[in-house]
Structure 1
Amino acid sequence: MGPMVAWEYALLVRRYQGQGRNFHVSFVWYGPDGSRTDITAYGDTAVAHLNRVGRDGWELVSAAEDVNNVQGSTEVHRYHLKRPLARP
């Protein structure tokens, strides 16, 4: 049996908040080191962000969605990603 692969994980969160014709979409990257970075400026779709981090070796593991339409509209999409941990 070969050596086990160690993984590191990250989270991409897409948040859509809207009321009537006004809405705001933002993207936040939660890195494996615990960092939190607003990456909204890098693209306006989840696919753009997933393709960007995919080029860095990240693989989509799962996706989840929360929707609350009581007052206006709020959607939160979570994209869980992993990649092999670089060994020293």
Structure 2
Amino acid sequence: MDRMIAWEYALLVRRYQGQGRNFHVTFVWYGPDGSRKDVTAYGDTAVAHLNRVGREGWELVTAAEDVNNVQGSTEVHRYHLKRPLN
């Protein structure tokens, strides 16, 4: 019988908050152990963050976007990732 693969999951959240011409982008990593870490300093684009965690064995499973278009003030992008448990 083949061995079943066990997975662990994590979440990368990109939050864009703007007001007029000013805006602020943050990235937060929610680890499989329940930890929460601000990883904004590791890159200024989602692609930079996805490439970084991809090198650590994480695979993108889904991506979702929530936009509050009241003045275009808030966007939240969620990147759900998985990797095999060792």
Q: Distance in 2 between matches of 1:71 and 1:61?
A: 31
Aligned residue pairs total 85
Question: Shift of residue 72 of structure 1?
Answer: 4.6
Query: How big is the alpha-carbon RMSD for the aligned residues of Structure 1 and Structure 2?
Result: 0.8
TM-score computed with the length of structure 1 as normaliser: 0.94
Residue 46 of structure 1 and its aligned partner are, at CA, apart by 0.2
Q: Which runs of 5+ in 2 are unaligned?
A: none
Alpha-carbon displacement from aligned partner over 1:50-79 (angstroms, at most 9, x marks no partner):
000000000000000000011451000000
- Please list the CA deviations of residues 15-65 of structure 1 after superposition, one character each: whole Å capped at 9, or x if unmatched: 000011110000000000000000000000000000000000000000000
Q: Distance in 2 between matches of 1:71 and 1:20?
A: 8
Gap regions ≥5 residues in structure 1: none
Give TM-score, length-normalised by structure 2: 0.96
